[in-house]
Amino acid sequence: MLLRMLDLLFSDPIAFLGLFPLILFTLGLALFVAITVHEFGHAYMAHRLGDDTAKQMGRLSLNPLVHLDPLGTAMLFLVGFGWGKPVPVNPFFLRQGARKGMALVAAAGPLANFATAAVLSAFVRAGLVPWRPDISFVPFPGLWELVGMIVVLSIIYNVILGIFNLIPLSPLDGFKLVLGIVPRDLAYSLSRVEQYGPMILITIVALDSFTGVGIFTGILRPVSDLIGVILVGKPLL
């Protein structure tokens, strides 16, 4: 994302210096909220199902510092794709069994994102925050305008992070969810190709970033817009 601002840096350095701190703050806070509730959702569900591995490691927390991965956070700011620190889970401690338990833990992260977006959307529905997905960053905004930016961006990023993680491709949550709900024989067959998931994911991200093919955009936009209509009455993107 910040890499896209390089054009502004060279075309209007003064505007860049005025907008950079604002964009860094608002985008950063929105992303920290989305990542934190996502990882907390995993840790909380594991705890509820009987595995306290994450709790013992301090991950059952809404403190963003315990969930942020340095490289993943940097990638989020630079290109809009990143990750949090994976929550440790021991599937053998889960009361629902390893397969079903891991599926529930996997689903809890995206569900936490959607729930957070729904709560924040109440401020939009109540008319307290104007819905402006095409946010125009203006240097030195008023306090309430700044709060509105953070709320809107938090809704957008929570929904996008939730949808993205439901894609059934390893190491995303959607893959673990699929393994938990398909028949055992099929789950075993799918687990044998799990190792290729990260490479496929990186390849698609690279294609989207450098060629503009828009594979993930084609997946995310229709679903995010539908959720946006449900939450705030308008498409998200």
Q: Where in the sequence numbering do the catalytic residues fall? A: 39
Which tokens hold the place of 48?
Answer: 């509820």
Tell me the sheet residues that pair with 161. none
User: In 3D, which of 100, 91, 101, 38 has the Cα closest to residue 66?
Assistant: 38
SS3 percent helix, strand, coil of the chain, rounded to 5, is 70, 0, 25
| ω into 171 cis (within 30 of 0) | yes
**Residue 20, Cβ neighbours under 10 Å: how many?**
16
User: In 3D, which of 76, 95, 79, 89 has the Cα closest to residue 32?
Assistant: 76
Q: Give me the residue label for tokens 């700044």.
A: 146
CA-CA distance, 49 to 56, in Å (whole number)?
Answer: 15
Sign of CA dihedral 197, 200, 202, 205: negative
In three-state secondary structure terms, 84 is strand
Whether the CB-CB separation of 16 and 9 falls below 8 Å is answered with yes
Q: Give me the residue label for tokens 């994911």.
A: 201
CA-CA distance, 164 to 174, in Å (whole number)?
Answer: 9
